[in-house]
Amino acid sequence: MLIVDNLHAGYGNSEVLMGASLQVKQGSVVALIGANGAGKTTTMRAISGMIRPTRGAVMLDGQPVQGHGAARIARLGLAHSPEGRKVFGPLSVEDNLLLGAFNHLPRFFGFRAKAEIELERVYELFPRLRERKGQAAGTLSGGEQQMLAIGRALMAKPKVILLDEPSMGLAPVIVQEVFNTIRRLKEAGITLLLVEQFAKSALEVADYAYVMEHGNIAVEGTPAELNQNQRVLAAYLG
Amino acid sequence: MDTSIILQMVVSGAFMGLVYALIAYGFQLTFATSKSINFGQGELVMLSAFFSLTLLNLGLPYWLMVPGGLLFGAALGLVVERAGVRLALEQKSEGWILLTIILGLLGFSAAENIWGRDDRPFPTPISADALHVFGINITPLEISVAIGVFLVMGAVELFKRKTLMGKAFEAVSADRDAAELMGISATRTIMLSYGLSGMVAAMAGILISPITTVGPTMASALILKAFAVAVVAGLDSGFGVVLIGIFLGALESLTSFYLGSGWREAPGLVLLILALAVRPNGVFGKSTMRKV
């Protein structure tokens, strides 16, 4: 579904990504783990078009998308829930969700009715969002904002979701809740690329995982294989 | 001192102030999406007014001229966006400041060459004969200014709140990167904001010209005051610009009555300086917190 081949990217003159390659098969959850500054978020940003890769290819559903702008890649079926959640603070929870479905909805009137089924699905997954649908997104707690960011990505009915550090800055109880949500998305057959600091929890939900070091993939394998790997164990799972 | 004279001054000034508010509102529209404004907005008002006058002289009825003038203003707004703002924003530079000033100067020269340097009357079917209300004179023309200002601002606010495109507009102003990730094109949204801003400016020109006449120099007088209103009210409060606009208009008219018309521009400038010194985010502006 998503194939990343020899991806190079960076900011200004400093190259952060140096030839990362990975694959996400349809219906699978793939985890991308590694230390701070290894290039995980940069990988996500280069895939979704937030920054332009300088070299390499990104194939979404067999179609090359590298070099396109973020808006165009989003229209082609990739939803990137970015690091730090980035909900639209002044807008209501429901408006945030509706904007998630921007590509499928009429631009002017009648969009609310058209989005009914998707909205219902997201509200069922996150009943808390239904309770707060009229509230400004900026007033939600961190955990609720994370639910909103995931819900907003689901609204797009994407082929692939990139989920960057969903547990960042959340209390342990809430982190557990986030991972339960990811498990439910997986059961629903959603294709997911997950970047996480909590490598252990990430490996528990993932079908396959990549370990990043210094802008490159250092190790890859199934969670069972990584759990056997002494180096990975020592560095990330200890 | 006669209170009815003071009241008269306040009321007449307030109507002028609404026009400043409308132009300031145009600043807010583009600032919201792109953090940039058109420093040549005064020239845009003036050019749209001249164009509308030409439409009238060609024999077009007033009520058909209005949409024509608004479309022209929107088109000019798009030109400013394409020829000035986008070039600078693409390079993440503040060059839009200079570029929009230059485009304004170009517009000024064009107007002098096409329409001449003289101020010209702007005919309107709306009567300028005063009605007496509670001892003060109000003309239907002044009332039409108020109606026009609130119609345009109301329409834009409805668009922003009730349509998905309008919500996308708000999304781009809240977080441009995140909006792009939803498939919302920031470039197109910024274009839209400049088109709307140009339309709003054209409306200001059409509304004020019958009262002030049309001439190339109307640009600089209007822009300074609209700028003062925008800075004092803050660049994100539509309600604020209306209040501050009315306040400045009234203050100006009182100043020119008591101190002489030469002091007319003073209150706007003093307000601007005070606002920048005391509350750079504006009286109604949210204090923006930068998150790391």
Buried b (16+ CB within 10 A) or exposed e, B209-237: bbbbebbbebbebbbbbbbbbbbbbbbbb
* Tokens matching residue B84: 């000035």
pLDDT value of position B235: 83
Contacts of B10 (CB under 8 A, 6+ apart): B250, B253, B254
Mutation site for B-interface testing, chosen from A95, A109, A159, A168 by largest number of B Cβ within 10 Å: A95
Determine the residue type at B156.
Answer: V
Q: Which residue of A has its CA nearest to B168?
A: A99
Contacts of A152 in chain B (CB under 8 A): 182
Residue B290 in this model has a pLDDT that exceeds 60: no
Shortest Cα distance, chain A CAs vs residue B168, angstroms = 7
SS3 content of chain A, % helix, strand, coil (to 5): 40, 25, 30
The answer to whether the beta carbons of residues A210 and A30 sit under 8 Å apart is yes
Other residues' Cβ atoms within 10 Å of the Cβ of residue B93: 12
What are A81's strand-pairing partners? A163
Mean pLDDT, range B151-177, rounded to an integer: 94
ipTM over 0.95: no
Check CB contact under 8 Å for A99 and B165. no
**Nearest Cα residue to A71 out of A99, A42, A50:** A50
Shortest Cα distance, chain B CAs vs residue A103, angstroms = 6
Shortest Cα distance, chain A CAs vs residue B136, angstroms = 42
What are the φ and ψ backbone dihedral angles of A216, each rounded to 5 degrees?
-145, 160
pLDDT value of position B1: 57
Put simply, whether B177 touches A (Cβ < 8 Å) is: yes
Q: Residue B184 is nearest to which of A48, A71, A108, comparing CB atoms?
A: A71
Mutation site for A-interface testing, chosen from B176, B182, B236, B289 by largest number of A Cβ within 10 Å: B182
- The chain-wide mean pLDDT, for chain B, equals 90
Domain definitions of chain A by residue range: 2-87+159-237
Domain A2-87+159-237 in CATH 3.40.718.10: no
Check CB contact under 8 Å for A103 and B162. no
Site of tokens 């547990």: A167
Contacts of A75 in chain B (CB under 8 A): 183
pLDDT value of position A197: 85
Contacts of A151 (CB under 8 A, 6+ apart): A97, A100, A122, A125, A126, A129
Give one DSSP letter per residue of A61-109, joined into a string. TTEE-TTS-HHHHHHTTEEEE-TT----TTSBHHHHHHHHTGGGS-SSS
CB < 8 Å from A in window 128-167 of B: 162-165, 167
Taking only the tens of pLDDT, chain A with its 238 residues reads 999 999 999 888 888 999 899 999 999 999 999 888 889 999 999 999 999 999 999 999 999 999 899 999 999 999 999 999 999 999 999 999 999 999 999 999 889 999 999 999 999 999 999 999 999 999 999 999 999 999 999 999 999 999 999 999 999 999 999 999 999 999 999 999 999 988 889 999 999 999 999 999 999 999 999 888 888 887 877 6
The answer to whether the beta carbons of residues A84 and A97 sit under 8 Å apart is no
